[in-house]
Chains A and B, each alone.
Chain A
């Protein structure tokens, strides 16, 4: 799967960006500023407003590609802050996208799969609690679980180690290595060492600094 940006400008600040990303393997967007990489990921999952140019996926306009089937089946997005819906319990947070894709979910099978992923991420949480009961680190790990339960075609991860402590970083590091051969991934990272060791391809976005305008200058 190839995503192509053709002279794309967006509301979030991308300016006339032309870029091609191979999503059939592990690609790291190395971006010291974090801004452009996040804007690229956001625009790919439809969170940004494209004002000029076109994003295509295997030649198909992004808009049409995202409409073909439930979006999260294609692009599973793990936000840098591991966002959870605050008015739902942790369990409901995991179930929401799953039920959206498949209303006739097999509860027993899903529960077994959930427990397996929670174990992999060394998470022991009371799933009836709301997110406010836990600090951001475990919630970010849980957001990995939520995305992996969907089993999307491509994992899109914004800064995988952000807000994690040392122990949690080790867990994520191990899981990412475990998934490396089974999941195509697109990862935005500020960590040069991580990209060099982990990625099949590194796209150095420092060469594209002129293609991003900060939010401050947009207003």
Chain B
């Protein structure tokens, strides 16, 4: 059995979203491969 700290890390890793920056084609490819929807955060630096 995993120690609590490692278990927490494993759970956190499983819960983490797959992150893509500024690359729509890559996000689309990853989402299709993983069968996940895409959440887009569109922002401006100002």
- Whether both chains belong to one complex is answered with no
